[in-house]
Structure 1
């Protein structure tokens, strides 16, 4: 698509959020990423986008969002759109029809020449952290963790401890320069398949850092490197950090989503059924809540298994686990296990920067203290010194943030065929 849009035309941007709980559309000024101080104009539907043979049904989605977008643009007094971002659950695996149809359809409808297609995890990230480097755990019915190092960032190797610091943050970034900041992926692989160093107490150990160098130790600002035969270098050198995404989990309720709403709900229902049978590990309080919500326990399989929305049904029981946790050790244990899974996912994707941030977003965290307290404890143990924060915004805010950055040529979030493409 031709990406030339005049400054006069790019007055507003359009964000579309298509998720498991429905579809939302938002319009905001183009020159303020994420919208203005006032809330963006929005439209929402509780009906999720349909899925057909080609994945997410683009025609059906367009039939719903185009009239809503036109009305929002009219209310906003927008002359023309500068950019659009569509964030959709399943974009990577179910987005073929969207990628084929949306560019021309949106160009015909609004004259827009800049379009970003993103996985909902990316828009959740952008809504939570903007374009800052860090990690986001998005937890609702499912769970996914996403970490990012924005593109066009510069790393300094050397400084006070020979690890990596950052010079300058990309647009929207909030990380200050610092020669002694350690950087690397917290898990065993970086986005290019290399093994990242683990940083502990300012010292870096491991097989390879992201630029294929390994720092053994530092003394007085001097760096020792195995791959240079033990030679030391007094001068910090500057390398380009590979911007990229790192994902953990998000594999669905059968293969993963560990610690998410469906996972917690299923564990709670299993404990209830154990109590019903008289087996060990059961919970009578959870059994009572099962029967209050679903009816007789013995009838639950017949009600649950035929449902096409089983993950959502399982997740609907997660709040009951939270309500029982204060007085039921089994429910409390389920949430502690969930917190461990959540922290493991965050640890796997969090880039080690001087001011790393982990943001928590999604409806599951509205459970409050029964889940948030053990999550924060686990994160403090696994990522000491990393700040944990609530998300600044939601996935629709993130779609608007991406669209605004795209409209103003300031998009620094990494491009990725499965996560974020620009056409």
Structure 2
């Protein structure tokens, strides 16, 4: 929610926050809609860990001689992690597996210009991200204003290898949407929400888990404690 407020403000729209994981959130200012953000085992499709895992899988396919492998990605796997047969033993015991997988995503992007397998992984990732954005983007309002879709997070610093197919997918699935870079980060969004609360003009909808406001139910004690500290 803070990423949404930082990227879009208090307007209807959608935000896709991509990094190691991937989540999309949208609102028409009446309710929230969420897509993905379910972690690297159940979702986060198109995020950094997803891209890195797909790249490593293609590398292992090349090592085995199976169809769909990529010699270029195999070379990058061995440069980063060492011999391919040792990768499972290095990866599986790690408690930070999503971050390790995501660390390989830039290698996929670096290979995409010359390697069709790497390029295909990024096209598929773009499709997943566009699916999530389409699932949460509110319908155009009565004034016909298009849905604003903001992209925020380190995933999109991957540049054109991902952004080019992503723009194409968003244009196909959300032809009336306007894709913009996030204008602010989650810290900026937290300040937007705080200022709106102080002024009494919070437009973003309350939600039991996504946006709880001090003074609503159990959060009352927090509001009182903060007031006492400030005074």
Give the TM-score, by structure 1 length.
0.49
Could you tell me which residue of structure 2 aligns to residue 284 of structure 1?
71
CA distance, structure 1, for counterparts of residue 103 and residue 52 of structure 2? 7
Number of aligned residues: 210
CA distance in 1, matches of 2:72, 2:187: 37
Q: How big is the alpha-carbon RMSD for the aligned residues of Structure 1 and Structure 2? A: 0.7
Which residue of 2 is the match for residue 128 of structure 1? 7
1:368 is the counterpart of 2:159: yes
Instruction: Tell me which of 97, 105, 109 is aligned to 1:310.
Output: 97
- 1:211-241 Cα offsets, whole Å, 9 max, x none, are xxxxxxxxxxxxxxxxxxxxxxxxxxxxxxx
**Deviation sequence 1:18-69 (CA, Å, 0-9, x none):** xxxxxxxxxxxxxxxxxxxxxxxxxxxxxxxxxxxxxxxxxxxxxxxxxxxx
Match of 1:392 in 2: 183
Counterpart CA distance in 2 for 1:337 and 1:282 is 16
Structure with the larger strand share: 1
User: Residue in 1 aligned with 2:150?
Assistant: 359
What's the secondary structure of 1:364's corresponding residue?
Answer: helix
The separation in 1 between residues aligned to 2:192 and 2:74, in whole angstroms, is 44
Aligned to 1:300: 87
Deviations 1:68-100 (A, max 9, x none): xxxxxxxxxxxxxxxxxxxxxxxxxxxxxxxxx
- Structure 2: tracts of 5 or more residues without a match: 215-231
Aligned partners of 2:187 and 2:87: how far apart in 1? Answer: 35
Q: More relative contact order in 1 or in 2 (CA 8 Å, sep 6+)?
A: 2
Find the counterpart in structure 1 of residue 34 from structure 2.
247
Work out the CA distance in 2 between the residues paired with 1:279 and 1:303: 22
SS of 2:212's partner is strand
Q: Deviations over 1:175-208 (max 9, x none)?
A: xxxxxxxxxxxxxxxxxxxxxxxxxxxxxxxxxx
Deviation beyond 6 Å, 4+ runs, structure 1: none
Deviation, 1:407, is 1.3
Aligned-residue offset at 1:125: 0.5
CA deviation after TM superposition for structure 1 residue 317, in Å: 0.5
Question: What is residue 342 of structure 1 aligned with on the other side?
Answer: 129
CA distance in 2, matches of 1:415, 1:247: 14
* Residue equivalent to 2:202: 411
Deviation at 1:388, TM superposition (A): 0.4
Q: Secondary structure at the match of 1:256?
A: coil
Equivalent-residue separation in structure 2 for 1:257 and 1:394 (angstroms): 20
SS at 2:149 equivalent: strand
Which residue is 2:171 aligned to?
A: 380
Cα distance in 2 for residues equivalent to 1:125 and 1:292: 38
Please state whether the residue corresponding to 1:406 is helix, strand or coil: helix
Matches of 2:10 and 2:108, distance apart in 1: 35
Q: Distance in 2 between matches of 1:253 and 1:410?
A: 37
Q: CA deviation at 1:408?
A: 1.2
Q: TM-score of the superposition, structure 2-length normalised?
A: 0.90
Q: Secondary structure at the match of 1:420?
A: coil
Q: Deviations over 1:139-187 (max 9, x none)?
A: 100000101112xxxxxxxxxxxxxxxxxxxxxxxxxxxxxxxxxxxxx
